[in-house]
Amino acid sequence: MIGTIFNVSMILIGCTVGSLFKRGIKPAYHDILMQALGLAACMIGINAVVQRMPQSKYPVLFIVSLAIGGLVGQALDLQGRFDKLVNRFSGGNLAEGLATAVLLYCIGSLSILGPIEAALKHDYTFLFTNGMLDGITSIVLASTFGFGIAIAAGVLFIWQGSLYVLALLLKGALSTALLNEITIVGGILILASGLGLLKIKQINTLNLLPALIVPPVVISILQLF
């Protein structure tokens, strides 16, 4: 868990620095930071999909995952519940920022593979690298949305901690095929978040979040036959 603690610490440090910058930044600079963050999110999402798609053994699974996940998320109204909860304790557009932060921090190759590598091989390279990247990202996010972005650090700790424990328990059961499919779906969600930040298309990204659960379920069922 050393790598995860480092990752979380870098986010908290980045949020502190970014929130200090926020006080002296003019609206025009906030706008350009939002655009920069939106472009970065789009490229991270596209990169994840482009890298993993050629390796996919189930080329249509991401479509099924997004469809089923979207229906489940819409039925549960995850986006609406999340927005109400965040807006109850803060003003502005913190909910949008938190949703983006959670996706950027948690749904990436380094954040998924890092805890698994740490658990199975005691290799913290991915997590240390991810921590540095998240630290820089959190400065930009906090300078735009405020220190409330630090809440995402708690989500990251639970996410990576769960993957770490899961890797220890399952070991060989976590196949490359499964990680590929999760990363593809995650990349699409990050891209969707970036499009929202750029105000190209506002997508209820959190309602699509259950799509990440579909690949493990489908692949587990297929492996029974």
Q: How far apart are CA 81 and CA 194, in angstroms?
A: 21
Q: How far apart are CA 218 and CA 195, in angstroms?
A: 28
Q: pLDDT category, 174, cuts 50, 70, 90?
A: low
- Per-residue pLDDT at 137: 82
Q: pLDDT category, 64, cuts 50, 70, 90?
A: very high
| Coil/strand/helix, residue 89 | helix
**What is the per-residue pLDDT across 100-151, written as a single tens digit (0 to 9) for each?**
788 778 876 668 778 877 887 788 887 887 888 788 888 888 888 888 888 8
Handedness of CA 23, 25, 26, 27 (dihedral sign): negative
Whole-structure pTM value: 0.73
CB of 113 within 8 A of CB of 127?
A: no
Angle at alpha carbon of residue 222, lines to 221 and 223, rounded to 5°: 90
**What is the per-residue pLDDT across 32-63, written as a single tens digit (0 to 9) for each?**
877 887 888 788 889 889 988 999 999 899 99
H and E: helices and strands count for the chain:
10, 0
Domains of the chain by residue range: 2-222
**What is the per-residue pLDDT across 86-104, written as a single tens digit (0 to 9) for each?**
666 555 677 777 877 887 7
- Per-residue pLDDT at 109: 62
Task: Name every residue whose Cβ is closer than 8 Å to that of residue 64 and which is 6 or more positions away in sequence.
Answer: 214, 218
Instruction: Check residues 30 and 114 and name the one with the higher pLDDT.
Output: 114
- Per-residue pLDDT at 178: 83
> What is the mean predicted confidence (pLDDT) over 207-224?
87
> What is the mean predicted confidence (pLDDT) over 79-90?
71
From residue 53, alpha-carbon distances to 1, 56, 62, 84 in Å are 30, 5, 10, 35
* C-alpha torsion angle, residues 108, 115, 101, 17 (rounded to 10): -120
DSSP state of 207: G
- Per-residue pLDDT at 196: 83
CA 90 to chain centre: 22
Helix (H) / strand (E) containing 201: none
Q: How far apart are CA 139 and CA 148, in angstroms?
A: 12
Longest Cα separation, the chain: 60
* C-alpha torsion angle, residues 112, 117, 123, 129 (rounded to 10): -20
